Structure 1
Amino acid sequence: MKYVNLGKSGLKVSEVSLGTMTFGREADEKEANKILEYYFDNGGNFIDTANVYAEGKSEEILGRALRGKRNNIVLATKVFFPTGKDFNEKGVSRNNILRAVENSLKRLQTDYIDLYQIHCWDYFTPIEETLSALDYLINKGYVRYIGISNFSGWQIEKALKVSEVNRYEKIISAQMQYSLVVRDIEMEVMPVCNAEGISLVAWGPLGGGFLSGKYKAGEKPKEGRIAVAENDWEESWDKRATEKNFKILEKLEGIAKARNKTVAQISLNWIISRNVIPILGIRTLKQIEDNMGAVGWELTQDELNELNSISEPEERYPYRFIKSANKR
C-alpha cells in the first residue's frame, strides 16, 4: 500500500479509501467489522462515511469499531442531505453544519473529524456562510481539514477565492463520481483540482458495480445497487447499459485475463494510475478481498492507452474549440 498527501496538507492517506455507505444497510455490523479488519490489515487508513448513510447507522458502527484505533485512522464524513423533516435539517447553513457535526461526533464516538466534507453544492446558502462555519469548526478543533463533494469547477474556484479573501482554511479534497464509464470531471473539475493542489477522491469507481465484471449486454441485473437504482440516479442500469460501456467492459475483460487479475482490479488500478483515490464501496468481505488486489502493481502504458482510448469522453465546446485554437 502506498500513501499520499491529501491536497497541499501534510495529512497522509492510503491510496485507496474504504467507503461505508453499505454499513448498517447491505452490510450488518458483524460483516462491517470483518471488512474494516481486512482493510486495516492490508494497510488502509482512510475511512469515508456520511451522516445520512443508513440514517446514521454507518457512523454508529464506525464509532464502535474504531475504539482503540482512532489515532491511526483518517476519518472523513459529510454534511448536506436531509436528516429530518425540518427545513433547517438540510444543506450547509451554519445552523445545520453545527448541529450535524455535533451529532456526527456523538455517533462516531470521537472528539474530532479528520476530514469534514460538504456533500453537495448548496444553491440556497451563501458559500461565505458555509466556509465561515467550517473555519470555525477547525479553529475549535472539532474538524482538522475540509473537503467538498459534487461541485462543479467554477464552484470549487469560488470556494477557494472566498477562503483566500477571508483567510479561511481551504478545501484540500474533492470527492467526485469518476470511473472508466464516467469521466466527466476531466473536462473542468480535474484541471481545477490539479492546478489548485486539491486531491481527487472517486466515488463510484466501479460505476455502481457495472465494472465488477458480472454484467452482460442484454441481461438486466436482478440484484445489486445498479439493479434497484431509479433511472434518474447516477448509477442506474439505463445509464450504464450503453454500447460504448459494454465495449469498455470487453476491453477490461481482455486485459484482466491477460494479467490474471479481475475486471474490478483493472478498473480500480486505472483510477489509481491517474493520481485519484478510489473509494471502495464494499458490501461483503469477499468484495474487499478482491478490490484490495488493485494495489501493489501497475498497468503498462499500452494497457493504459487502450483503456483511455476506448473510454475517452466526447469533447465538447468550448474545450474542443480551445484545444483546436491552440494547436502549434
Structure 2
Amino acid sequence: MHKSREISLSTMGCGTWAWGNQLLWGYNESMDEQLQAVFNLCVSNGVTLFDTGDSYGTGRLNGRSELLLGRFSQEYQGLNQENICLATKLAAYPWRWTRQSMIQACRASAKRLGRNVDLVQMHWSTGNYAPWQETRLLDGLADLYEQGLVKGVGLSNFGPKRLKLVHQRFAERGVPISTLQVQYSLLSTYPLTQLHLKDVCDELGIKLIAYSPLALGILTGKYSQKGPFPKGIRGLLFRQLLPGARSLLSCLREIAQTRHKTMSQVALNWCICKGTIPIPGAKSVTQAQDNIGALGWYLDSQEIAELDQAAASSDKVMVQNIFQTK
C-alpha cells in the first residue's frame, strides 16, 4: 500500500527550488494580493513545492502562513496546478508529547490549508534536550503516513546519527522519509562539510532541503558593512557577519557579473549544484522572478570550487540552529 503512494514533489532534484513561506516580517493584510501573484508566478514557472510551518504566526497572526498558502492554492488555476505540493512543519512544542498530539496538529494544519497536507515534517529534533518526547512525536509522524493522512513525511534539523536511527525505526513500519531540511548556504556549509548529511541522505534515498539559502539576505549583495541594516536581531547579525564575508561576497559578485546573473541567483544555483533543494522566501513578484532566474543553468566546476574556497575562508558564518543535532 505504501509503495504505491507518491508525493508530488515535481522534479525536486538538482535544478529546482521551492518557496519557503514563513511568517512575513512586517506583514499586513494588504500584502495578500501581492503574495497571491508571487504564488501564481512560482507555480506557472514549475515551482510547485511550498513549505511552511504551523509555528509561523503568533498572536493575531496565529496559523496565518498556512491559511494564506491554502487560499493561494485554492484560488490558483493554471499551468502545473495539479503538481502543487503543500508541505508544513509541525513544531515540537513542550505541550506536544504524545503521538496523538501530532495527529491533532496535522489535522489542524490541514483545516487551515483547506486540504490534506502533502508533506508533513517534524520541525525540529528534541534529541538535545528531551529525547523521550521525540520518540512519541516521531511515532505520531509515522502514524500520519500509515493512516493515509499525508503523502509523505520529513524531518528538519536532524543530524546524521539521529537521522539514521529514525530511518531505521520508520523502515520497520514501512514508512519512508521523503525529505530532510537543514540550514544550508554559502555561509552555513556545516551540514554538508562537517556532518556529511548529503552523503547520508543519498544513501537513504532522502531529498535534502536547504533553508535560509541566502543567509537571511546577506548573500543577495543588497547590504554593505556601512549599512543600512535590517531592524532587530537580523541587523545585529548582519553587523557581525558582513565584515568576515567580504571575500565571499566579492567572489559571488564577480561570478554573477560574468554570468549576467544576480548574486542571489548564483548563491541559489550553488545550493542546487550541491544537490539540495533551496527554499528561498519571496514577498514580491520581483523577488520571485529573481529566484526563478536561478533555474535552467548550472555553475561550472571551477566556479563552484571558487565559491567553496571563498566560503571556507569566511571569518564568521551563520549561527547554527540550536535544535540541529549530530
Q: Which category of TM-score, normalised to the shorter sequence, fits these structures?
A: 0.7 to 0.9
Question: Residues 295, 182 of structure 1: CA spacing in aligned structure 2 closer, same or farther, 3 A cutoff?
Answer: same
Superposition CA RMSD, Å: 2.4
Q: Quick one: which amino acid aligns to residue 48 of structure 1?
A: D
1:220 Cα deviation from its structure 2 partner: 3.8
Question: Residues 71, 9 of structure 1: CA spacing in aligned structure 2 closer, same or farther, 3 A cutoff?
Answer: closer
| Partner residue in 2 for 1:160 | 167
| Partner residue in 1 for 2:223 | 215
How far, CA to CA, are the matches of 2:308 and 2:41 in structure 1? 31
Q: SS at 1:290's partner residue?
A: helix
Tell me if 1:171 matches 2:177: yes
Q: Quick one: which amino acid aligns to residue 278 of structure 1?
A: P
Q: Please, what TM-score do these two structures have when normalized by structure 1? A: 0.81
Q: Which has the higher contact order (CA 8 A, sep 6+)?
A: 2
In structure 1, runs of 5+ residues without a counterpart are 1-7, 315-328
Give 1:168-317 correspondences, 5 Å limit: 168-186=174-192, 187-188=194-195, 189-217=197-225, 219-223=226-230, 227-229=231-233, 236-238=237-239, 240-243=241-244, 245-312=245-312
1:301 Cα deviation from its structure 2 partner: 1.9
Q: Deviations over 1:259-307 (max 9, x none)?
A: 1110001100111111100002112221111111000111122211111
1:173 Cα deviation from its structure 2 partner: 0.8
Residue from 139, 151, 155 that aligns with 1:132: 139
Give the percent of matched residue pairs that are identical in Structure 1 and Structure 2.
29
Tell me if 1:42 matches 2:48: no
Q: SS at 1:202's partner residue?
A: strand
Q: Deviations over 1:54-77 (max 9, x none)?
A: 221011111212116574311100
| Partner residue in 2 for 1:323 | none
| Partner residue in 1 for 2:99 | 94
In structure 2, runs of 5+ residues without a counterpart are 315-326
1:17 touches 1:45 (CA, 8 Å); kept in 2?
yes
1:269 touches 1:299 (CA, 8 Å); kept in 2?
yes
Q: Quick one: which amino acid aligns to residue 90 of structure 2?
A: V
Q: Deviations over 1:123-163 (max 9, x none)?
A: 42444422321222112221111000011221111111222
| Partner residue in 2 for 1:318 | none
Q: SS at 1:117's partner residue?
A: strand
1:198 Cα deviation from its structure 2 partner: 1.2
Aligned residues: 291
Q: SS at 2:53's partner residue?
A: coil
1:180 touches 1:311 (CA, 8 Å); kept in 2?
yes
